[in-house]
Structure 1
Amino acid sequence: MSAAEPPGDGDHQLLVLIDPLARRYDGESVRIAKDVLSAGSHAKICLPDGPDEFARALSRRGARRPVVVGDDHALLRAVSQLHRERELSESTLSLIPVGAAHSLELAHALGVPRGAVAAARTVLDGAVRRLDLLVDDSDGVVLGELRIPAASPPAGPPHTIWDTCRTLVAALVRPAPPSPSGPSRTHRLRVEADGVLLNDLDRPVEGVSVTAQGDGGLADVVIRTTSGETLTAEAKAVTVAGPDFRYRADIQVAGPVRTRTWTVRAGAWGLILPPVDG
């Protein structure tokens, strides 16, 4: 890992963590982001070679405000680490989104500007917004949306050679998808919202989604049944149980599990976003 600390004219003390995938994907955007941040702050630029170096640099940030240059994976990695260290509530993160379009959907949904220049200026001149977080009973975090069953990840370039191998193996062993006229998969899930039973195992569902409202302290729960019903609720805690199921939390697929509870942590983390006019 290499690091440098060019002089800056601003009072910002930043730790700029540049994800290696971002450097390979769009080196020009990375260079622009570095130039803007270095001109307006005292920025320490870190170029970790992988997740371990990324984690070490973040843990040694001191009083510097972390700035992640990368995609949704890099942002989630930073939030997850700070949560595990129990320092998330005291930290404020910034993101400069660099990556393929499908890997930046979460960043843009959260309100991070598109483009290196706009995002870098937001790092310097933006405002902190405290956002809600979904935390599960295994200490995993969800910044945006949780889906059950787990949807297939969007197509895009794999991150490592191991991802390439997994993709090739999956393509060889994956059964052919059902025809459009065939029956859709159903799932038997028991869903409780704040202790209130919304759905039981005797009513099959096509899917369940849980989304933190952003800063409202509640999650939106949507259940789609096989009979065409849509059940909705708001809750601070959601428990799902049933036969082994997988779920997709933001961009990561987890499971199988037989039961899992997600709880909203109001204002659990801070993200620098453009100021809201008015």
Structure 2
Amino acid sequence: MATSPTSDQLLVIIDPVALRTDGESVRIAKDVLSAGAASTKVCLPQDPEEFARVLARRGSRRPVVIGDDRALTRAVGLLHRQRELAECVLSVVPVGTVLGVAQALGVPTGAVAAARAVLDGAERRLDVLVDDSDGVVLGALRIPPVPLAPREARDEAAEPNGVDGAEAGGRLWLRTCQSLVRTLVPTRPSRISPAPAPPGPARLRIEVDGVTLIDLDQPVEAVSVTPGTGASGTAAVEVRPLSLGAEAAPLQARGRTVTVSGADFRYRTDAAIAGPVRRRTWTVREGALGLMLPGR
């Protein structure tokens, strides 16, 4: 287990995507942090495996991630799997194009303001959702998943964040084989495929603390699960049933555990899309994440 971090010793982890996207903001943040902290060690990991090694070897330094939502959720996921999330105070300077989660958590999006919050802010304990496959959710969980924006989709293809090293290597191997096949097989005139249809209503059983909120006999249009503000210990669940004629009122509940089951479904958590699965349970971990935010 890592030793307790000291506030004036920082480990600054710069995500390569942030450096490519907005190198000037990265430089500004690094300069502010270096000028304000007693000791600063700066690292630029080139892949998820190196990111994990750097974070695991942080020693007494407080980790500061400069990057987008994927870099933030990757750091949180690693600390959770190392069973060190509760003992670690994390900081983030949001840089990139996918910053909705950081904003929702209260992190300033300007490089200077975010860096000042790292140095002068206060630790705030926040709830997270943890699923039965050890995945962590900081913001909202959505079914069906909200589609990735074009820039997010390009980043997802270029950077296999959120997957472990073996899976990332497997994807790289697969892409290499696919490229080789394309060079060997004669090309044919391409045909324009129609745009994929938006996901239709799903038939899901949703249980909150063991009580069924909606069952398989009533199709749903959308489901959202959001950890409570601060450290409330419960999540807010909203289910929108399929509307037939007059708009159906959403079903709402709060609880510590949420189980979704039914036909294969995908879901979006923070900056990633997961699934398909037939059953998944999310549990609220009260105050599991310590995040540096502007003082109040």
Q: TM-score range by the shorter chain?
A: 0.7 to 0.9
2:179 aligns with: none
Alpha-carbon shift at residue 177 of structure 1 (Å): 4.8
Q: For the residues of structure 2 that align with 1:155 and 1:174, how far apart are their CA atoms?
A: 18
1:193 aligns with: 208
2:99 aligns with: 104
2:224 to 209, 216, 235: 209
**Alignment partner of 1:134 is 2:129:** yes
1:168 aligns with: none
1:221 to 203, 218, 237: 237
Q: For the residues of structure 1 that align with 2:47 and 2:70, how far apart are their CA atoms?
A: 12
AA at the equivalent of 1:109: A
Q: For the residues of structure 2 that align with 1:29 and 1:194, how far apart are their CA atoms?
A: 44
Alpha-carbon shift at residue 229 of structure 1 (Å): 2.8
**Alignment partner of 1:47 is 2:44:** yes
AA at the equivalent of 2:120: D
2:195 to 159, 176, 179: 176
Q: For the residues of structure 1 that align with 2:89 and 2:29, how far apart are their CA atoms?
A: 18
1:235 to 247, 255, 270: 255
Identity of aligned residues (%): 61
1:56 to 41, 45, 53: 53
Deviates further, 243-252 or 78-87: 243-252
The SS at the match of 1:120 is helix
Alpha-carbon shift at residue 149 of structure 1 (Å): 1.1
Distance change >3 Å, CA 241–CA 175, structure 1 → 2: farther
**What's the TM-score, normalizing by structure 2?**
0.82
Q: For the residues of structure 2 that align with 1:126 and 1:249, how far apart are their CA atoms?
A: 27
**Alignment partner of 1:93 is 2:90:** yes
1:254 to 274, 287, 295: 274
Contact 2:7 2:62 in 1 (8 A): no
Distance change >3 Å, CA 218–CA 40, structure 1 → 2: same
Alpha-carbon shift at residue 175 of structure 1 (Å): 4.3
AA at the equivalent of 1:204: P
1:19 to 15, 24, 45: 15
Distance change >3 Å, CA 84–CA 25, structure 1 → 2: same
Q: Which contiguous aligned blocks of 4+ residues in structure 1 show a shift greater than 3 angstroms?
A: 160-163, 172-175
Distance change >3 Å, CA 67–CA 240, structure 1 → 2: same
The SS at the match of 1:134 is strand
Distance change >3 Å, CA 19–CA 105, structure 1 → 2: same
Distance change >3 Å, CA 176–CA 27, structure 1 → 2: closer
AA at the equivalent of 2:22: D
Give the total of aligned pairs.
254
Give per-residue Cα distances to partners, 1:76-120, cap 9 Å, x unaligned.
Answer: 0000000000000000100001101xx001111110002110010
2:180 aligns with: none
Contact 2:91 2:118 in 1 (8 A): yes
Gap regions ≥5 residues in structure 1: 1-9, 166-171
Deviates further, 208-217 or 234-243: 208-217
Deviates further, 104-113 or 152-161: 152-161
2:29 aligns with: 33
Alpha-carbon shift at residue 60 of structure 1 (Å): 0.2
1:66 aligns with: 63
Alpha-carbon shift at residue 155 of structure 1 (Å): 2.2
* Equivalent runs, 1:72-83 vs 2, <5 Å: 72-83=69-80
Distance change >3 Å, CA 11–CA 77, structure 1 → 2: closer
Alpha-carbon shift at residue 11 of structure 1 (Å): 6.5
Q: For the residues of structure 1 that align with 2:7 and 2:204, how far apart are their CA atoms?
A: 52
RCO higher in structure (CA 8 A, sep ≥6):
2
Alpha-carbon shift at residue 224 of structure 1 (Å): 0.2
The SS at the match of 2:216 is coil
Distance change >3 Å, CA 173–CA 213, structure 1 → 2: farther
Give per-residue Cα distances to partners, 1:174-228, cap 9 Å, x unaligned.
Answer: 743559xxxx711000000001110000001001110001321110000000132
